[in-house]
């Protein structure tokens, strides 16, 4: 119901010309779009918020071109944000993680429009070149048509066989498998476990690996992508954000060590894994030489925006075209600010 009301509100606002007004009012705000991967098979149905359909991505990029949003590279956009001379409606396109499908499917679309983009690349699975274990397990548990799963030999605390027709039992067993494997097994043993699970669940792990549905770019692909104009930046090595200083600096150092030899230049822009962050990270990131850090918090960026907490709009196949338009023109941003002001007044008015 809430989604229908929101879409109806956006449609009415567009008909009344409020989208044009909002675009003018927010013209100085920097828009940063966030994508992850592009669907190559049914992973777009499995995680539509992560793997956008190719046709949807094409439509988004065509919309930016048709509506005249100036797309800038991240570094240029941050410098111009600092100087206060961004062109009206300035937009940055970013991708998180470094999925293989970015180079294979997204890059040709970007090149068609002459759009620059940034890829925040996490590197553990770049160096290992195996599918991301936890996503593979989640995918196979989503895709399977099996009714039961025997885990009696897998050293997890679940009654075996697991009744896969029970969503709660399926979910609990899935996370027990993931947690056990990530804590106790080497990557080679996790791959072997994935194959074993695939056989028991009736899902071909070999095809998942061969099609690279959940694989990141290889070092050579990252090098080629950088040579073709993609801006490669930092996203931690192990896709975690340690709370302690030593751990955080190590994650960034390991990430740099894997990426900088491939791209041939220093890297100083960062994206928080899973969008999780705290203000206590800001000083540590600056100490590590980071110039900007991107979140998954919606909103526009102004000269007053904390550079270690840049706002981005996370786009995906679950986002309707009218919602995308509302975000791009700034109408959704203005509504959020209005709602925040009203809630603030209500809180201040309480006894």
- pLDDT at 348 exceeding the cut of 90: no
pLDDT of residue 1: 80
CB 117, CB 95: distance < 8 Å: yes
CA atoms within 13 A on the CB side of 38: 20
In the numeric block, which tokens belong to residue 307? 């550079």
pLDDT higher than 80, residue 160: no
Bigger pLDDT: 291 vs 161: 291
If pLDDT is split at 50, 70 and 90, which confidence band does 215 have?
Answer: very high
More confident residue, 342 or 343: 342
Residue 341's pLDDT band (cuts 50, 70, 90): confident
Query: Do 31 and 71 meet the contact criterion of CB atoms below 8 Å apart?
Result: no
Q: How confident is the model at residue 179 (pLDDT cuts 50, 70, 90)?
A: very high
2-127+215-348 homologous superfamily:
Glycoside hydrolase/deacetylase (3.20.20.370)
Every domain of the chain and the residues it spans: 2-127+215-348, 130-211
For the chain, percent of residues with pLDDT exceeding 70: 96
Q: What pTM value is reported for the model? A: 0.95
Q: Mind listing the pLDDT tens digit for each residue in 22-60?
A: 999 999 999 999 999 999 999 999 999 999 999 999 999
Note the pLDDT of residue 98: 98
Q: How far apart are CA 43 and CA 47, in angstroms?
A: 6
pLDDT at 344 over 80: no
């Amino acid at each position: 119901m809430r989604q229908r009301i929101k879409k109806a509100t956006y449609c009415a606002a567009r008909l009344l010309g409020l989208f044009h007004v909002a675009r003018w009012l927010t013209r100085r705000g920097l828009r940063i779009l966030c994508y992850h991967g592009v669907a190559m098979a049914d992973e777009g149905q499995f995680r539509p918020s992560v793997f956008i359909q190719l046709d949807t991505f094409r439509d988004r990029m065509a919309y930016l071109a048709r509506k005249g949003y100036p797309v800038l590279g991240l570094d240029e956009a941050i410098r111009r944000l600092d100087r206060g001379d961004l062109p009206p409606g300035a937009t940055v396109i970013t991708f998180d993680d470094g999925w293989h499908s970015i180079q294979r499917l997204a890059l040709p679309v970007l090149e068609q429009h002459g759009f620059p983009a940034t890829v925040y690349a996490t590197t553990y699975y770049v160096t290992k070149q195996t599918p991301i274990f936890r996503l593979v397990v989640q995918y196979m548990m989503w895709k399977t048509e099996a009714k039961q799963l025997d885990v009696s030999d897998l050293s997890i605390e679940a009654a075996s066989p697991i009744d896969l027709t029970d969503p709660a039992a399926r979910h609990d067993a899935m996370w027990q498998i993931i947690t056990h494997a990530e804590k106790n097994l080497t990557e080679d043993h996790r791959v072997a476990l994935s194959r074993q699970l695939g056989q028991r669940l009736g899902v071909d792990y070999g095809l998942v690996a061969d099609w690279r549905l959940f694989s990141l770019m290889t070092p050579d692909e990252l090098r080629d992508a950088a040579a073709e104009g993609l801006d490669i930046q930092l996203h931690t090595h192990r896709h975690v954000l340690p709370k302690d200083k030593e751990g955080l600096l190590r994650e960034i150092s390991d990430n740099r060590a894997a990426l900088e030899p491939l791209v041939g230049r220093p890297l100083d822009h960062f994206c928080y894994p899973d969008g999780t962050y705290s203000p206590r990270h800001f000083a540590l990131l600056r100490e590590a030489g980071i110039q900007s850090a991107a979140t998954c918090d919606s909103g526009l960026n102004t000269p007053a925006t904390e550079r270690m907490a840049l706002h981005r709009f996370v786009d995906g196949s679950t986002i309707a075209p009218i919602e995308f338009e509302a975000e791009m023109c700034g109408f959704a941003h203005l509504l959020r600010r209005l709602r925040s002001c009203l809630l603030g007044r209500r809180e201040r008015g309480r006894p």
